[in-house]
Amino acid sequence: MDNPYFYVFCGFHHFSYNEDNSKNDKEMERMTMSNLQTPFRYDFVGSFLRPEKLKKARRQFNEGKIDAVALKKVEDEAITELVSKIKELGYHVITDGEFRRATWHLDFMWGFDGIGHIPTKTGLPFHGEAAMVDDTYIVGKIGLTGEHPFVDHFRFVKALEDENTVAKQTIPSPAQFLAQFTMPFNRGCTEKHYPNEQELVNDIVAAYGKVIDDLYAAGCRNLQLDDCTWGMFADKIGHTLYGTTREGIVEFQKAHKDINDKVIANAPKDMIINTHVCRGNFHSTYASEGAYDSVADILFGEENVNAYFLEFDDERSGGFAPLAKVSGEKKVVLGLITTKSPVLEDKQLVIDRIHDAAKYIPLERLYLSPQCGFASCEIGNKLTEEEQWAKLRLVKEVAEEVWGK
The DSSP line for 68-98 is HHHHHHHHHHHHHHHHHHHHHTT-SEE--TT
Each residue of 84-119: b (16+ CB within 10 Å) or e?
Answer: ebbbeeebbbbbbbbbbbbbbbbbbbbbbebbebee
Residue 135 lies in a domain: yes
* Structural domain count of the chain: 1
Q: How far is CA 338 from the centre of its chain?
A: 16
pLDDT band of 208, cuts 50, 70, 90: very high
pLDDT above 90 as % of the chain: 72
Q: Global pTM? A: 0.89
User: For residue 239, what pLDDT is reported?
Assistant: 86
Going by C-beta distance under 8 Å and a sequence separation of 6 or more, which residues neighbour residue 349? none
Residue 40 lies in a domain: yes
User: For residue 405, what pLDDT is reported?
Assistant: 86
Residue 324 above 60 pLDDT?
yes
Residue 19 lies in a domain: no
Residue 5 lies in a domain: no
Residue 26 lies in a domain: no
Report the CATH number that the domain containing residue 336 is assigned in CATH.
3.20.20.210
- 34 or 303, greater pLDDT: 303
Residue 341 lies in a domain: yes
d(CA 158, CA 32): 13
H or E element in which residue 136 lies = strand 135-143
Q: What residue numbers bound the domain in which 149 lies?
A: 35-403
| DSSP 8-state symbol, 49 | P
Q: What is the mean pLDDT of residues 133-151?
A: 92
Residue 155 lies in a domain: yes
Residue 93 lies in a domain: yes
pLDDT band of 133, cuts 50, 70, 90: confident
pLDDT band of 63, cuts 50, 70, 90: very high
Evaluate whether 311 touches 363 at the Cβ level (below 8 Å).
Answer: no
